[in-house]
Amino acid sequence: MPIAAPATELARRLIPAVVHANGTARVQALVPGQNPFLADVLTRFTGRTGIPVLINTSLNVTGKPICGTPEMALECLASSGLDGLMLDGGWWVSR
């Protein structure tokens, strides 16, 4: 994600959480053949919401390192305000 591109007015209106204060966004493309699990998640999310976008961010809370293992991710879920967590392999864990 090294390049930030100007966000469109449509993106600013429909998905404001992905637009930086300066009006840009860091866009990543998904190649379904390279990550079929995530492609399926995105397709299903799009079907439910009409929005073909997921936010990709580091998983950590203030004062803690970025989660590097499923165990760390589960601990982060338990100790934060997150509603749920998707883990590679099709696991969905919710509070």
pTM of the entire predicted model: 0.70
Tens digit of each residue's pLDDT (9 = 90 or more) over 10-48: 999 999 999 999 999 998 889 999 989 889 999 999 999
Helices in the chain by DSSP H: which ranges?
A: 9-14, 36-49, 70-79
Residue with tokens 């589960």: 74
Q: Of 30, 17, 23, 29, which is closest to residue 5 (Cα–Cα)?
A: 23
Q: Give the total residue count for the chain.
A: 95
- Give me 44's structure tokens: 């299903």
Tens digit of each residue's pLDDT (9 = 90 or more) over 49-83: 999 998 877 898 899 999 999 999 999 999 998 88
Taking residues 86-92, report their average pLDDT: 83
